Amino acid sequence: MSEKSLESSFEKLLSEHRRGLKAYLLTIVQDYHLAEDILQDTSAIVAERWELEEIHDFWAFSREVARRQALLAIRNMRHQPVPVSEDALDSVFAAFEDLGHDPSDSRIVALQGCMKKLPQRWLKILDLRYWKEEKVNSIALKLNIHANVVSVTINRAKSKLADCVSSALTVDRVKL
């Protein structure tokens, strides 16, 4: 494939997926400007790999690069609380897998609303585990609870987010 043709097809695919990638990043970092910066970094990385003709599934590859860039940005901002656990990111990743080119705004709004419904204690555990990178036993000691409670809480938070988003989207469809 010619260089001009590769560049043209890359720009077309990036244009098609830009909105979905931006929505995905906004869900993760919840900061418009940071999401835009990460999207630019993601685009540059994907462009490099595109030129090498290493990409077979543009959406999946771009989304994974965006996810990794977002996690890197979050880790670089440790002093700022981030309300999304890595388990929740996995759920978001799975949700966006089905969306393809154009994720609906209602899914994003639903996820953000569902995260606000999690108990403070759950959010604290998720924050300690994923953003402060503490071990389960360390969290248990710090919060004076059993390590199994920490593990179960993390799993329940992930499940609750998935159920809540599904329920919210079902209610929205019924209203239509």
Instruction: Give the pLDDT of the chain (176 residues) as one tens digit per residue.
Output: 555 555 667 788 888 888 888 888 888 888 888 889 999 999 899 888 888 877 778 888 889 999 999 888 888 776 555 556 666 767 667 666 655 544 456 777 787 788 788 888 887 887 787 677 888 899 999 999 998 998 888 888 878 877 887 888 776 554 54
Q: Cα–Cα distance between 105 and 152 in angstroms, integer?
A: 30
Q: Which residue has the tokens 């969306």?
A: 99
CB atoms within 10 A of CB 140: 19
125: nearest Cα among 154, 146, 158, 148: 154
Q: Does domain 83-176 have CATH number 1.10.10?
A: yes
Q: 135: helix, coil or strand? A: coil
Q: Whole-model pTM above 0.95? A: no
CA-based R_g, the chain, Å? 18
